[in-house]
Every structure is written in C-alpha cells, then in structure tokens.
C-alpha cells in the first residue's frame, strides 16, 4: 500500500473521527445524580395522614366495646356456675327438709298409739268394726292420718329415690299395712279422691 491511500497516523482530524465521543462512552446511570453526587434513592409512598379526631374516637369506642363484651361473657359464665351451685344446694336442702317431715309424720303416728293403745288392733291385727261403733270416728280419723302419711312418704321416695328409699319397697310396705287394717283399706277404696293417685295405684 502506498502513501497516497494510507492516511497518516498522526492526522488529528482523522484520529478524531475514529474515536467515539467521550459522552457516548460513559454508561447511562439508572438515576440522575443528586446534588450531593450520590444516586437518588427510589421514590417512597406518600406519607400517611394522621388519624382524625372522629377516627380516634371510633377506635377507642371499639376497644371499649370489646372489653365490655369480654367482661359480659365472663359474668355470664360466673352467673351460670353460681346458679348451678345454688340449685344443688337447694335440692339438697329440700331433700333434707322432706326427709325430716317424713320422719316427723311417722313419729306422730307412733305417738297416737302410745296415747290410744286401744286403736292398735284396728291397724296391726286385722280387727274391723262397724260404722255404728262409737269408736269408729276415731279409728277412721287415724286411718286417714296413716293414708296421708303413706302418700307423702311415697311421693318423697318418687321424687328423691336412693338405695335406701326406693318407691317399690315402700309400696310393698303400704300393701302389707293395708292387709292388716280393713278399716284403712276400706277408707282408701271409698275415699280415693282424697288421696294421691300414686297411693291409689297401690291397691291395683
């Protein structure tokens, strides 16, 4: 190659055309430089506005409502447990009072025979008497007392049965007592409406 076709290496114009401009050689940055010379940080979200007075009041009322609801639920649980304890206590107290009343009635009947031993044969030895007998009103009154006590004690065992006071056992006892007293058995048959239907079933 001759000198006419080969440009000289030291030609400033030709060398300038071969070299890219300095601005094009620098890589473009992701973000423009800040005034301090550091790249700017990514943009953050808009700042949250402070809660208004109404919003703060609503949150406060909601929190108070939750607390009141929790306290109310606790109060209901406590009330239910207290009611259960009171019901158990009432049932036990009723059982004791009913048993004491039953025992008192039986003692009253025993006292009648202690005060009037002449009535004993009409209730324990199968002795009978006519309604025209002068002693009949007293015997009939004591027979009614027996039947009332039997009805009360039978109801007591039906409501509060246990291993020692079973209704069926007491019904057998009543049948045995009626078999020994014609007057008492006749009073129950002729005056059935005076006494408990559970007592009337004993005769059937």
Residue 46: which pLDDT band, with cuts at 50, 70 and 90? low
185 compared with 67, residue with greater pLDDT = 185
166 compared with 141, residue with greater pLDDT = 141
Mean pLDDT, the chain, integer: 76
Mean pLDDT of 118-122: 95
Give yes or no for residue 156 having a pLDDT over 90: no
Residue 137: which pLDDT band, with cuts at 50, 70 and 90? very high
Nearest to 141 by CA among 125, 155, 156, 122: 122
Give yes or no for residue 131 having a pLDDT over 50: yes
Element (H, E) at 139: helix 136-159
pLDDT of amino acid 181: 95
pLDDT of amino acid 142: 95
pLDDT of amino acid 49: 66
Give yes or no for residue 29 having a pLDDT over 50: no
pLDDT of amino acid 17: 45
Give yes or no for residue 170 having a pLDDT over 70: yes
pLDDT of amino acid 144: 94
CA distance 66 to 19: 77
Crossing angle of helices 182-190/136-159, nearest 10°? 70
pLDDT of amino acid 178: 93
Residue 111: which pLDDT band, with cuts at 50, 70 and 90? very high
Residue ranges of domains in the chain: 99-203
Lowest mean pLDDT among 105-109, 136-140, 161-165: 161-165
Mean pLDDT of 145-160: 88
Burial class for 147, CB neighbours closer than 10 Å (0-12, 13-18, 19+): buried
Beta bridge partners of 33: 39
Give yes or no for residue 39 having a pLDDT over 50: yes
pLDDT of amino acid 113: 92
């Amino acid at each position: 190659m001759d000198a006419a076709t080969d440009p000289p290496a030291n030609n400033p114009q030709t060398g300038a055309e071969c070299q890219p401009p300095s601005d094009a050689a620098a890589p473009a940055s992701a973000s423009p430089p800040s005034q301090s010379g550091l790249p700017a940080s990514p943009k953050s979200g808009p700042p949250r506005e402070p809660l208004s007075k109404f919003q703060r009041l609503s949150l406060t009322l909601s929190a108070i409502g939750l607390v009141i609801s929790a306290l109310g639920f606790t109060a209901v649980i406590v009330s239910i447990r207290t009611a259960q304890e009171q019901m158990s206590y009432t049932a036990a107290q009723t059982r004791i009072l009913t048993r004491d009343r039953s025992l008192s009635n039986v003692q009253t009947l025993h006292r009648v025979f202690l005060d009037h031993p002449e009535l004993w044969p009409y209730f324990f030895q199968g002795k009978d008497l006519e309604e025209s007998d002068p002693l009949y009103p007293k015997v009939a009154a004591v027979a009614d007392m027996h039947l009332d006590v039997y009805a009360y004690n039978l109801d007591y065992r039906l409501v509060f049965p246990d291993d020692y006071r079973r209704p069926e056992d007491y019904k057998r006892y009543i049948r045995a007592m009626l078999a020994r007293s014609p007057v008492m058995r006749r009073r129950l048959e002729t005056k059935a409406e005076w006494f408990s239907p559970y007592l009337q079933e004993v005769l059937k």
